[in-house]
Structure 1
């Protein structure tokens, strides 16, 4: 009977009948006795009873079979719709990030590359740097070519912060002050590593209200660190050059909009170590940006907007394929001015 019923039922119902058929065969092959009663499967008895009952009901009531099919289809549709909704929301977030990454051409900015020729090099407005009192380099690793060039050129100390790499970069002719800590959104230890806020670190070094420039490449920790930085502190910094990381966190848009209250974005370059179609319409998940304070930057209304990428940018990897934005992004000029 179970064999005939299974042939007329959907797969999910056949599984139930298969369980009951297995139980019957098992019972015949392993009859209960004083010796083997504990080695049988009595814990399945409630399940088997329910399976017998359900099988008999399914045979007599086609409407129940239809209901099971409808429920299964609805559940499958819910999964598909949920995936579609999440995918669409993630795409809108990436589009919102790209919409905020609209570089502006400045009349009074002469871009120059500082640091390495490839990975580790950053563009800044050379003519807007001096006079300079100090520089801050967040995330340095085993070398800090950016910090060394800035220190030697402007004769200022460069405060380096890195709590992950114990290497202490050196600079012939420059002054490095290494701090074995990281920047974050609060002060305290996380495991064995110490973190502090941007505001506290600048104040501790006696650089509050002094003329500073900042370089930041801290592998995604920039979002929380910058959200925690007071607007008043950010408004006092003439230039910030950095590499940003990520495309799937809503706080990215929040940070970009916060920075744009006080800064113009004047350079955008995507790191070709991180090219991926998953970030589309962004070509990569890591991107170098340069911010110039609105107090000193003068936008050029006659220049194309968004501003084209400077030829001073170079692939972070000279051997890997590059992945920059291919088509101009058009935006209303009043969004920036």
Structure 2
């Protein structure tokens, strides 16, 4: 067995561990006593879990479409108007009468040359007078800076947010960790994380001694709308399926996803 020599000074290594620990703490899920969750979209990639508070008057903003509109189609069939955004495809994989597609992307700053606008700018496309909309975001890493640059009062217009967090093993990098912490802290200031699922197209990496999924699906609901409790849930749940159905799902049986009644403190 060979060992890689440790070249990081002790103080720097502990500081990095603390930073990763504190960023991961912002991904601690909570339970919703008395609430029910449901899967929207079929098994495999393209499905997500939401809290069962959906009402047809809620519009849906769906960023990042790719080859599947399973999530969007399910919501359209329930009576929701769905606004779909993806500047990397030439056409939707399928149409629906309640779909409105924009060949545009989302980012931290507007870039008309690339067909990218901010989330706040895109929200002007929402139909007037609707109830709290639903946001879905799967934008291959652009979520981090988009969230850091979106004011909390804009995010709070959404009732639920479901998204994929990409490149989580980069929490070991100080610059990425600062951006990720800001994004997660912004979400946590107004929303509660209520469901997590590791995308099994990726794996589990060890970052500063902590296991970290490469890609995490996360469901948030606005905190002022629900009563929450410490998590007693083991993930994945029966609502979840592997994104790749040919491979086993990834158990999230480690910090910060394991059931816990207390928030742990960094031990050193």
Determine if the TM-score, normalized by the shorter chain, exceeds 0.5: yes
Listed one character per residue, the Cα deviations across residues 98-127 of structure 1 (whole Å, up to 9, x for unaligned) are 22211111124211000121111100012x
Query: Normalising by the residue count of structure 1, what TM-score does the alignment of the two structures yield?
Result: 0.67
Structure 1 unaligned segments of length 5 or more: list them.
1-78
Matches of 1:132 and 1:84, distance apart in 2: 55
Residues 1:182 and 2:105 aligned together: yes
- Superposition deviation, residue 81 in structure 1: 3.5
SS at match of 2:246: coil
Query: How is 1:1-337 mapped onto 2 (pairs within 5 angstroms)?
Result: 81-82=7-8, 90-126=16-52, 128-153=53-78, 155-172=79-96, 174-189=97-112, 192-207=113-128, 210-247=131-168, 248=170, 249-250=176-177, 251-279=179-207, 281-300=210-229, 304-305=230-231, 307-309=233-235, 310-327=237-254, 328=258, 330=260, 332=262
1:268 & 1:114 partners in 2: Cα distance?
Answer: 14
Give the secondary-structure state (helix, strand or coil) at the position aligned to 1:81: coil
Distance in 2 between residues matched to 1:222 and 1:278, nearest whole Å: 22
Structure 2: 5+ residue stretches without partners: 171-175
- Tell me how large the CA RMSD over aligned residues is: 2.7
In 1, Cα distance between the equivalents of 2:11 and 2:163? 33
CA distance in 2, matches of 1:175, 1:152: 8
List per-residue Cα deviations over 1:61-105 (Å, max 9, x = no partner).
Answer: xxxxxxxxxxxxxxxxxx963477766555444333322211111
Contact persistence 1:138–1:183 (CA under 8 A): yes
1:136–1:101 Cα change, 3 Å: same
Higher relative contact order, structure no. (Cα contacts within 8 Å, ≥ 6 residues apart): 2
TM-score, length-scaled by structure 2:
0.82
CA distance in 2, matches of 1:262, 1:108: 21
Contact residue 114 and residue 122 of structure 1 kept, 8 A: yes
Which aligned segments of 4 or more residues in structure 1 are displaced greater than 6 angstroms?
Answer: 83-86
Length, aligned pairs only: 249
Match of 2:173 in 1: none
Going by fraction, where is helix more abundant, 1 or 2? 1
Q: Could you report, residue by residue, the CA deviation over 1:131-163 in whole angstroms, capped at 9, with x for unpaired residues?
A: 53311110001321101110111x232111111
CA distance in 2, matches of 1:207, 1:122: 26
Q: Which has the larger radius of gyration?
A: 1
**Separation in structure 1 between the aligned mates of residue 90 and residue 34 of structure 2, nearest angstrom:** 39
Between structures 1 and 2, the one with greater strand share: 2
